[in-house]
Amino acid sequence: MLQSIPLKNIEIQNPFWNEYLDLVHKEIIPYQWDAMNDRIPGAEPSHCIENYRIAAGQAEGKFYGFVFQDSDLAKWLEAVAYVLSSRPDPELEKLADEAIDLVCAAQQPDGYLNTYYTLNAPHQRWRNLREGHELYCAGHIMEAAVAYYEATGKRKLLHSMMRFADLICDTFGPEEGKIHAYPGHEEVELALYKMYKATGEQRYLDMASYFIDIRGVDKDYYHRENDEPDFMPIWGYLSKDFDISYYQAHQSVREQKKAAGHAVRATYLYSAMADLAGETGDESLLEACRTLWDNITKKQMYVTGGIGSSGILERFSTDYDLSNEVAYAESCASIGLMLFGLRMNHITRNAEYFDAVERALYNTVLASVSRDGKRFFYVNPLEVWPEACMPNTSKQHVKPVRQPWFSCACCPPNIARTFASLGQYIWAQDQNCLYLNLFIGSTVKTKNGAYVTLRTKFPVENTMEIIGDKAIKMAVRIPDYAYNFTAGVTYHVKDGYAVFDLEANKPVMISFEAPSRFIRANPEVRANAGKVCIQRGPMVYCFEQIDNGANLSALSVNTSSPLVDVESDIPGGIMITASGKRCKPWAKDKLYSENVPEYEEVVLRAVPYAFWGNRGSGEMLVWIREAVQ
């Protein structure tokens, strides 16, 4: 099994990505701290920090926000930990220590930590697992504790979360007198595994396994919970007969063949399943992970790496249901897909998992944040007509511009922790070999003490130099979009990797072609019949109103004419032009007519989807009709 390399042993040296790492460190983290302290004018209020202060007895007031509001601070702390791993910053560390002091002060004497229940309903603990998010919030703060310990060596938050994990282990399980149930929103399973790896406590691994194994076995638990006379509902629109596939609880996890329900919950569950399969050698669990991965990436994933198409309840719908204008594709769901793919790659040593990881990263996840780090997308559609994104319509979830914050702010700190932990996606290693999965310029220190450097201008250019100060075996991923891959040395291909011996102080030059090209969807994807999109390397391109005029739906592209890469000052550096046609407008007083369409020749201009909406509000389109010849 592959292992991630500690972030402190990776130094990223890449113009494209260093911009984002600087953004996380200097802009996103300070901005999000201000947001959680309600210091951003015009932004949705958070009250997250104030909730902790009230629960800690340092302020008076009432809880405000969603039941999972605690998790925003947890993900922010995790992002800070990843930044500190490679970028020492005493002032930031001091701020994080103060936040940790606040978290620990809000913790109850028995180890319990949840400001919603502490302030609102202290006698309702663990009484509404379906909706309560207690275990979800617990998981995120545990992940932060492990990350902060690994980054700084400080154990205060880790000790605090060990007390919380012990309480969970004493509360749940198969033994008589314990609660025989599982969380409505998965997350704690991932965290308990990390706690086990950090502390060596077997009971944390056993608890994670229990939550996985019991899921979907007792299908009536949530119904019985709902029937209790003192049951306290949180979401009023959920009945006791609500479809439990939303919680991935309709079958045992080993029986599930199709990704179902809330997309973030699902990918967090699948990631935890992969963790346990890799740790325990459970082949049936691993096979379930393979099946679910294939269903997502081959039948339910947008070309941008977005998943979870339904705007109602943020969920998977049915195979090939990938509408563009009403796509949900929550930012957190693509991050969950990245987490799942990372684990599957580490277990199988198969490069194919990183094709989807890279697709999600370079498209949906990158698109989720503005270039200044102070605006965010929660939903990531593939087509936007701003005037139609109206409240109380099927497109009310679509925001044509990034938002300064959200009342449900799960995505912004999740984006921060993902960018801050980027190094774990670039490199991996086992006892014999160093694996390169993403082409991001960096220097890595391996477990045998070798320093290996990757130099590249990817994704603008597809050449790279690898050099190390000691001999080491290398495995370089051959991406699915690469043509004419060459390594300059003798190599063999294994599971999607070019494997070769890297000699000490002797550079190896890697190159491949990744030209701009037209991509078509499987005809089963009804929304994209007769349409194409443009992709260059891992980056999907889109058309914006600022470059192509209004009513993008009136455009079509001539796929028999070549695409042309044009150097540009737009983000990403490359604009793509294509020959196309525009259907001429009709007279304004006609809605329907027998008119034969008339077309004019136009030059179409496409920009990376990752950067759409950074030059003002307007229409956007990924999939475009093929021109009638």
**Whole-number CA gyration radius for the chain:** 25
Active site includes 533?
A: no
DSSP 8-class letter at 14 = -
Cis preceding-peptide flag for 459 (omega within 30 of 0)? yes
Token pair, residue 67, equals 């039941």
361 dihedral zone (left: phi>0; alpha: psi -120 to 50; beta): alpha
What pLDDT, on the 0 to 100 scale, is given for residue 571?
81
Evaluate whether 424 touches 414 at the Cβ level (below 8 Å): no
In terms of Cα–Cα distance, which of 583, 623, 626 is closest to 602? Answer: 583
Cβ contact 549:618 at 8 Å: no
CA atoms within 13 A on the CB side of 114: 25
On whether the CB atoms of residues 516 and 527 are closer than 8 A, the answer is no
The CATH architecture annotation of domain 430-513 reads: Sandwich (2.60)
Which of 48, 137, 332, 410 is the catalytic position? Answer: 410
Domain range list for the chain: 430-513, 517-626
* Catalytic residue chosen out of the listed positions 225, 314, 325, 352: 314
pLDDT at 239: 66
What is the model's pLDDT at position 226? 87
Q: Which residues contact 157 (CB under 8 A, 6 or more apart)?
A: 77, 100, 103, 104, 141, 144, 145, 148, 149
Of 347, 417, 291, 594, residue with least CA distance to 20: 417
Structure tokens at 581: 């046609």
**Residue among 559, 570, 504 at smallest CA distance from 531:** 559
Residues of the chain with pLDDT under 50: none
How many residues are there in the chain?
A: 629
pTM: 0.98
Is-catalytic flag, 410? Answer: yes
Closest CA to 505 of 465, 541, 553: 465
Nearest to 316 by CA among 374, 376, 269, 363: 269
